[in-house]
C-alpha cells in the first residue's frame, strides 16, 4: 500500500464586484491526510485534487477542447435572429428529483416526449432532465447570476441541446421553484418524487424570451463538445429563502468561464421582442446581486462571489 499526503488548495471568493471592475481576493485552504481511495470513490469534484483544474484526468477534452462551456456573453456585440420554437405538450408533469452529490437533478418520470425545442435548421430536441448550478456558470458582460437552471435535451441520434435559465435574488418567490424547493433530496444518491409539477410559469417565460446561442460543451466531465446552447438573456426572480434552500442540498457547483470557444455567440429573439426594450434589457443583465453562497467546504463564500475566478489547485505527494 502506498502512503501519501494530499494537499488541497481552494482559490476563490470574489470580495468586490462593481460595474466597471472586479477585484477578487484568493484565499487558500490547506488540508492533508485524505486517502487516495476516498478521492477515487468521490470522482470528479469542484475543488481539491479532483477539482476543475484537474478535470483533464477524467477526460482530456476538459482541458484540451476548443469549444468548452461556460462562456461570457458580450451583450452589445450580438447579432439578432429568429427565436427557436419551444413547445411543451404536458404542463402538469411528474419528476423524480435526485441529489447526485454535484447537483439536484430533475428527471421526467414518464417516457413520453415533453418539452421540444426546435433549432433553426428544424432539428428537434426532447427534454431529458433539468439540473441547477449556483452561482451561474455563464456570465453576461462579466457578471454572474445567483442560479442557473439547465434543461438538457437530446435527439435520437445523440445530439445535445441545453437551454439555460438565469435566476437572480428578488423580493418575490419563484412560483415554479416554490413547488419543489421544500421537497429536494438532502443527501447524495437520494431520490424524491414530485407527482405533479406545473411548468406553466417557466415555459411561458421561455416562449417569449431572448436567447444567446452558441456551440459549446457540457460543463462537467466528460466535457463533451458539440452541444447547442441556448441561454435565456433575462433572468427570472428567486427569493433569498428559496436560493438558500437549494444551496443547502448541493455544493458549490459552478465551472469557471472558459476562454477557448471557437465560435461567436448570437442572440435569438422572439418577434414580439424585436426593436423594443433593449436599453431596459441591458440594464437588467448588467446588475449584480450580492452572493450569499455558503457551503461546508468554505466559509469564504459569505461575501460576493465571482464564479469565473473560482479556481482550485491540488498536489499529491506520494
Task: For 237-254, write each residue's pLDDT tens digit.
Answer: 999 999 999 999 998 999
Total structural domains within the chain: 1
Three-state SS for 33-65 is CCCHHHHHHHCCCCCHHHCHHHHHHCCCHHHHC
User: Would 38 be classed as within a structural domain?
Assistant: no
User: Would 61 be classed as within a structural domain?
Assistant: no
Q: Residues with Cβ < 8 Å from 80, sequence gap 6 or more?
A: 266, 267, 269, 274
Kindly report the backbone phi and psi dihedral angles of residue 90, in degrees, each rounded to the nearest multiple of 5, phi listed first: -145, 100
Using an 8 Å Cβ cutoff, are 47 and 8 in contact? yes
Q: What CA–CA distance (Å, rounded) separates 29 from 9?
A: 5
Q: Which of 230, 243, 91, 210 is nearest to 152 (CA)?
A: 230
Q: What is the pLDDT of residue 306?
A: 35
Question: Which structural domain, as residue segments, surrounds residue 103?
Answer: 66-288
Q: Which of 195, 166, 163, 167 is nearest to 179 (CA)?
A: 195
Q: What is the DSSP letter of 298?
A: B
| CATH number, position 179 | 3.10.200.10
Q: What CA–CA distance (Å, rounded) separates 203 from 91?
A: 8
Q: What is the pLDDT of residue 296?
A: 31
Q: What CA–CA distance (Å, rounded) separates 161 from 74?
A: 21
User: Would 106 be classed as within a structural domain?
Assistant: yes
CA 80 remoteness from chain centre: 24
Catalytic residue set: 102
Q: What is the pLDDT of residue 93?
A: 83
CA atoms within a 13 Å half-sphere pointing along the CA-CB vector of 246: 31
Q: What is the pLDDT of residue 265?
A: 72
User: Would 55 be classed as within a structural domain?
Assistant: no
Q: What is the pLDDT of residue 264?
A: 64
- Long-range contact pairs involving 116-119 (C-beta distance under 8 Å, separation at least 24): 116/86, 116/87, 116/88, 116/89, 117/84, 117/85, 117/86, 117/87, 117/153, 117/161, 117/163, 117/230, 118/84, 118/85, 118/86, 118/87, 119/84, 119/161, 119/228
Per-residue pLDDT of the chain (318 residues; tens, 9 = 90+): 433 333 333 333 333 333 333 333 233 222 323 333 333 445 899 988 999 999 999 999 999 999 999 999 986 656 555 566 777 777 788 899 999 989 999 998 865 566 566 665 667 788 889 999 999 999 999 999 999 999 998 888 888 989 999 999 999 999 999 999 999 998 877 889 888 889 888 888 888 888 888 899 999 999 999 998 989 889 999 999 999 999 999 989 999 999 876 666 766 664 333 333 333 333 332 232 233 233 333 333 333 333 333 333 333 333
The CA-based dihedral angle spanning residues 201, 207, 210, 216, taken in that order and rounded to the nearest 10 degrees: 100
Using an 8 Å Cβ cutoff, are 84 and 266 in contact? no
User: Would 171 be classed as within a structural domain?
Assistant: yes
User: Would 39 be classed as within a structural domain?
Assistant: no
The CA-based dihedral angle spanning residues 239, 244, 246, 252, taken in that order and rounded to the nearest 10 degrees: 120
Q: How far is CA 273 from each of CA 19, 42, 255, 283, 298, rounded to the nearest angstrom?
A: 26, 46, 31, 16, 42
Q: What CA–CA distance (Å, rounded) separates 306 from 13?
A: 7
User: Would 263 be classed as within a structural domain?
Assistant: yes
Using an 8 Å Cβ cutoff, are 236 and 202 in contact? yes
Q: How far is CA 232 from each of CA 51, 66, 183, 220, 259, rounded to the nearest angstrom?
A: 28, 23, 26, 20, 20
User: Would 298 be classed as within a structural domain?
Assistant: no
Cell numbers found for residue 108: 421526467
Q: What is the pLDDT of residue 295?
A: 32
Using an 8 Å Cβ cutoff, are 28 and 11 in contact? yes
Amino acid at each position: 500500500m502506498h502512503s501519501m499526503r494530499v494537499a488541497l488548495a481552494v482559490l476563490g471568493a470574489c470580495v468586490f464586484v462593481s460595474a466597471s471592475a472586479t477585484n477578487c481576493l484568493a484565499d487558500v485552504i490547506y488540508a492533508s491526510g485524505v486517502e487516495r481511495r476516498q478521492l477515487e470513490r468521490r470522482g470528479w469534484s469542484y475543488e481539491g485534487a479532483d477539482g476543475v483544474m484537474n478535470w483533464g484526468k477524467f477526460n482530456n477534452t476538459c482541458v484540451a477542447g476548443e469549444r468548452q462551456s461556460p462562456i461570457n456573453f458580450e451583450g452589445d456585440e450580438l447579432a439578432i435572429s429568429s427565436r427557436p420554437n419551444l413547445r411543451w405538450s404536458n404542463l402538469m408533469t411528474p419528476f423524480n428529483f435526485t441529489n447526485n452529490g454535484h447537483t439536484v437533478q430533475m428527471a421526467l418520470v414518464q417516457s413520453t416526449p415533453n418539452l421540444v425545442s426546435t433549432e433553426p435548421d428544424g432539428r428537434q430536441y426532447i427534454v431529458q432532465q433539468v439540473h441547477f448550478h449556483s452561482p451561474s456558470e455563464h456570465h453576461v458582460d462579466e457578471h454572474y447570476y445567483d442560479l442557473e437552471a439547465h434543461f438538457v435535451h437530446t435527439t435520437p441520434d445523440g445530439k445535445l441541446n441545453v437551454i439555460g435559465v438565469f435566476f437572480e435574488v428578488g423580493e418575490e418567490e419563484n412560483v415554479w421553484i416554490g413547488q419543489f424547493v421544500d421537497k429536494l433530496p438532502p443527501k447524495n444518491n437520494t431520490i424524491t418524487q414530485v407527482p405533479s409539477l406545473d411548468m406553466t410559469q417557466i415555459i411561458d417565460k421561455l416562449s417569449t424570451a431572448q436567447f444567446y446561442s452558441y456551440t459549446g460543451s457540457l460543463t462537467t466531465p466528460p466535457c463533451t463538445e458539440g452541444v447547442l446552447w441556448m441561454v435565456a438573456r433575462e433572468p427570472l426572480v428567486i427569493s433569498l429563502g428559496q436560493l438558500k434552500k437549494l444551496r443547502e442540498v448541493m455544493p458549490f457547483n459552478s465551472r469557471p468561464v472558459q476562454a477557448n470557444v471557437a465560435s461567436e455567440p448570437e442572440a435569438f429573439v422572439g418577434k414580439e421582442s424585436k426593436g423594443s426594450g433593449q436599453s431596459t434589457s441591458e440594464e437588467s443583465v448588467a446588475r449584480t446581486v450580492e452572493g450569499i453562497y455558503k457551503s461546508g467546504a468554505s466559509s469564504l463564500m459569505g461575501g460576493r462571489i465571482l464564479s469565473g475566478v473560482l479556481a482550485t489547485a491540488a498536489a499529491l505527494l506520494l
